[in-house]
């Protein structure tokens, strides 16, 4: 996942939070947005575990 | 030759008896040799010319004494300007200058080193290397190789980082420590290279080009620790500078210390001060990012709970309103029914009175 994808997800979560915070929303839609936000955040958390910190020496000097 | 039998010295260390005795003729110690050289230098006439000309490199000040190497193509000698002479010299001795020094030759017996104790110095102009370097810097600047517009942003979330450095060096260790302290999960690919000497420029080019085409590498760090200006010359070689400038992968250069201004540093997308700074520059702090995600999740939950509460409050209010309306209607209906009953009683009473009236009128 590249920077743009991460930033897009983060921005979408922010949008969802703002929409929910206005309170002017149907309950069914609010539940749908909450589920979408959790899915995006799960993806972000999964992405943050990018590797296992391996150091590989390709070529000595 | 003497016996091969082994003996112990005063410290109990086994010494081999090879028949050489420091006290015999033809044998000398390092101390005696250096003392002889020192005596010979101090008594030699015309050993030191009136002026010694060379380029100033590796200049610095320690305990008020200015020190530098006076260098030409093939050789260098250490020069020291003690504090009492520094104020008498008309020029500011700086890196890259070509100067002529006047002074006395001194031999430091303890280390077997020769130095010039400088009493005066005259400027000769920029040294040959420095002139060449400045000319190259001007050409590349004019070409736009160092322009900000050419520089690529570093990715915020790299997954794999390439490092070009001397394998096993302190620079490698510092850069890796900085990367993994901030972001332990990031994988690193190290491509070793000679970072000084004749082979260094080609080594560096090969390493950079290799990492640039290695799949998945998001950022490249080119680094080495501090050294003399001569040690860092590979990082001013035109081919190396052009390789760095042409990298498709965003590249960070951390060469030497903060004061070391190499052309590679100017051509890189980002110039870090030290290997540690380079490591810190290429990764964000994972703990902060995960904290942000956790905070966002809490905000989503809080905002959703608030929506839920508002809806429940709204439903509760509506139920209460409907109940109140029904109750009011019921009370009204009860009042109407009571009124009707009262009317019926009055009517019945009136009818009874009417019947009674008719009855009395009929029979009386």
pLDDT tens per residue, range B265-280: 999 999 999 999 999 9
Contact B187 A55 (CB under 8 A): yes
Please indicate whether residue A61 or residue B195 has the higher confidence score (pLDDT): B195
What pLDDT is recorded for position B12? 53
Task: Search chain B and give the residue with CA nearest A60.
Answer: B192
What pLDDT is recorded for position B47? 76
Total residues found in chain A within this entry: 61
Contact A27 B299 (CB under 8 A): no
Contact A3 B290 (CB under 8 A): no
Q: Is the pLDDT of residue B305 over 90?
A: yes
Q: In sequence order, what E strands does B31-96 have? A: 52-62, 65-71, 76-81
Q: Is the pLDDT of residue B259 over 80?
A: no
Report the candidate in B283, B210, B282, B204 with the shortest Cα–Cα distance to residue B248.
Answer: B210
- On whether any CB of chain A is under 8 Å from the CB of B188, the answer is yes
Contact B185 A6 (CB under 8 A): no
Structure tokens at B273: 């001060």
Scanning A17-46 for CB atoms below 8 A from B yields: 17, 20-21, 23, 25, 27, 30-31, 33-34, 37-38, 41, 44-45
| Average pLDDT of chain B to the nearest whole number | 89
- On whether any CB of chain B is under 8 Å from the CB of A4, the answer is no
Distance from CA of A16 to the nearest CA of B (A): 8
Q: Is the pLDDT of residue B13 over 70?
A: no
The answer to whether the beta carbons of residues B126 and B99 sit under 8 Å apart is no
Please indicate whether residue B80 or residue B47 has the higher confidence score (pLDDT): B80
Q: What do you get for the CA distance between the two ends of chain B, in Å?
A: 185
Q: How confident is the model at residue B89 (pLDDT cuts 50, 70, 90)?
A: confident
Q: How confident is the model at residue B96 (pLDDT cuts 50, 70, 90)?
A: confident
Residue B194: exposure state from Cβ atoms within 10 A (0-12, 13-18, ≥19): middle
Task: Search chain B and give the residue with CA nearest A18.
Answer: B303
Contacts with A34 from chain B: Cβ below 8 Å: 300-301, 304
**Residue from the list B192, B214, B293 with its beta carbon closest to the beta carbon of A45:** B293
What pLDDT is recorded for position B341? 93
Q: How far apart are CA B174 and CA B123, in angstroms?
A: 40
What pLDDT is recorded for position A23? 79
Question: How many other C-beta atoms lie within 10 A of the C-beta of residue B167?
Answer: 15
pTM over 0.90: no
Q: Is the pLDDT of residue B183 over 80?
A: yes
Q: Is the pLDDT of residue A38 over 80?
A: yes
Report the candidate in B286, B307, B296, B287 with the shortest Cα–Cα distance to residue A13.
Answer: B296
What pLDDT is recorded for position B16? 61
- On whether any CB of chain A is under 8 Å from the CB of B187, the answer is yes
Contact B293 A41 (CB under 8 A): yes
pLDDT digits (tens, 9 = 90+) for B319-360: 999 999 999 999 999 999 999 999 999 999 999 999 999 999
What pLDDT is recorded for position B11? 52
Beta carbons within 8 Å of A47's beta carbon, 6+ residues apart = A1, A6, B157
- On whether any CB of chain A is under 8 Å from the CB of B312, the answer is no
Distance from CA of A15 to the nearest CA of B (A): 10
What pLDDT is recorded for position B81? 95
**ipTM score of complex:** 0.88
Q: How far apart are CA B101 and CA B69, in angstroms?
A: 12
DSSP lists the bridge partners of residue B258 as none
Q: Is the pLDDT of residue B284 over 90?
A: yes
CA distances from residue B181 to B106, B176, B256, B274, B280 in whole angstroms, order as listed? 49, 8, 22, 16, 9
């Amino acid at each position: 996942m590249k920077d743009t994808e991460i930033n897009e997800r983060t921005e979408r979560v922010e949008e969802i939070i703002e929409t929910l915070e206005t309170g002017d929303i149907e309950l069914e839609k609010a539940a749908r947005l909450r589920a979408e936000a959790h899915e995006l955040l799960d993806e972000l958390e999964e992405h943050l575990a990018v590797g296992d910190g391996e150091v590989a020496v390709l070529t000595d000097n | 030759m003497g016996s091969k039998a082994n003996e112990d010295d005063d410290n109990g260390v086994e010494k081999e008896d090879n028949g050489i005795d420091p006290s015999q003729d033809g044998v000398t110690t390092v101390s005696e040799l250096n003392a002889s050289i020192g005596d010979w230098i101090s008594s030699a006439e015309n050993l030191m010319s009136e002026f010694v000309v060379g380029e100033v490199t590796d200049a610095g000040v320690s305990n008020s004494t200015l020190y530098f190497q006076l260098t030409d193509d093939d050789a260098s000698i250490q020069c020291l300007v003690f504090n009492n002479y520094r104020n008498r010299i008309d020029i500011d001795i700086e890196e890259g200058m070509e100067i002529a020094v006047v002074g006395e030759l001194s031999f430091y017996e303890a280390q077997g080193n020769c130095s010039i104790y400088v009493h005066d110095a005259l400027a000769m102009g920029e040294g040959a290397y420095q002139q060449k370097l400045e000319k190259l810097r001007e050409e590349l600047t004019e070409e736009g190789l160092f322009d900000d517009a050419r520089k690529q942003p570093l990715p915020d979330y790299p997954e794999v980082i390439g490092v070009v450095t001397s394998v096993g060096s302190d620079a490698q260790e510092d850069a890796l420590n900085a990367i993994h302290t901030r972001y332990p999960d990031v994988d690193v690919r190290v491509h070793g290279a000679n970072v000084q000497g004749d082979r260094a420029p080609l080594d560096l080019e090969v390493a950079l080009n290799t990492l640039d085409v290695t799949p998945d590498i998001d950022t490249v760090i080119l680094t080495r620790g501090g050294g003399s200006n001569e040690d860092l010359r590979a990082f001013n070689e035109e081919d190396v500078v052009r390789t760095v400038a042409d990298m498709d992968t965003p590249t960070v250069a951390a060469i030497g210390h903060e004061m070391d201004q190499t052309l590679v540093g100017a051509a890189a997308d980002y110039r870090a001060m030290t290997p540690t700074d380079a490591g810190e520059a290429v990764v964000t702090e994972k703990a902060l990012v995960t904290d942000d995600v956790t905070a966002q999740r809490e905000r989503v939950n809080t905002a959703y709970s608030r929506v839920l509460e508002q809806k429940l409050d709204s439903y509760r209010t509506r139920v209460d309103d409907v109940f109140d309306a029904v109750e009011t209607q019921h009370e009204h209906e009860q009042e109407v029914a009571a009124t009707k009953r009262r009317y019926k009683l009055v009517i019945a009473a009136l009818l009874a009175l009417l019947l009674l009236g008719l009855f009395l009128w009929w029979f009386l």
